[in-house]
Amino acid sequence: MRSFLSSLVILVLAGLLGGTAFIYFGLFDVSATDPHSSTVHWIMDQARIRSIRVRAAGIQVPDGLDDPQKVVMGVDHFAAHCAVCHGAPGVAKEALARGLYPAPPDLTDAAAHYSPAELFWILKNGIKMTGMPAWSDHSDEALWSAVAFIEKLPGMSADDYAKLVAASAESGVHHHHHD
């Protein structure tokens, strides 16, 4: 028992020392051009998915998320703030987004991976150590309308998207910019 405990202590100390040396000698490459190994990638994916799932668990989804008016309001928000990094049907990401690591994903399938409450949580809080900003300075109503729009993204054609953008420009629900 005693030798087991001392081996354990030695192992933990060696681990701490190794970890400190790894950081001190700059062995971790923070460069955005050096992709994570598949193991690190997998661990980060699990950490993100579990973190979001646990934190979004208490969020109540408001009624009428598929109200067409909400989707029109959401497209306005999306075109103004999100398409730059994520692109949209028929719209390419802008140059800024191409150098980001992790790369901002295409959101066509986002609604298949996350519940509406989880999407709302992501928009409101952002994702640490990635380029994904928190949009907590936007009203919950604006964020829910962006979620309503993301729910409609699967199968949306470039033409559908262009029509929605035109409808939002006409409808007077135009997004007001604020700092």
- Say how far apart CA 90 and CA 52 lie, in whole Å: 29
Minimum Å gap between C-beta 149 and ligand HEC is 8
Minimum Å gap between C-beta 150 and ligand HEC is 6
Q: Which long-range CB contacts under 8 A does 66-71 form with residues at least 24 apart? A: 66/148, 66/151, 66/152, 67/148, 69/171, 69/173, 70/144, 70/145, 70/148, 70/149, 71/145, 71/148, 71/149, 71/152, 71/164
**Cβ–Cβ under 8 Å, residues 56 and 116:** no
Minimum Å gap between C-beta 128 and ligand HEC is 9
Minimum Å gap between C-beta 112 and ligand HEC is 9
Longest dimension (CA), the chain: 77
Instruction: Give the x/- contact pattern for ligand HEC in 19-58, rule: CB under 6 A.
Output: -----------------------------x----------
Q: Select from 18-26, 60-68, 123-131, 160-168 the region that touches ligand HEC (CB under 6 A).
A: 123-131
Return residues touching ligand HEC (CB under 6 A).
Answer: 48, 81-82, 84-86, 97, 100, 102, 104-105, 107, 110, 113, 119, 122-123, 127, 130-133, 135, 146
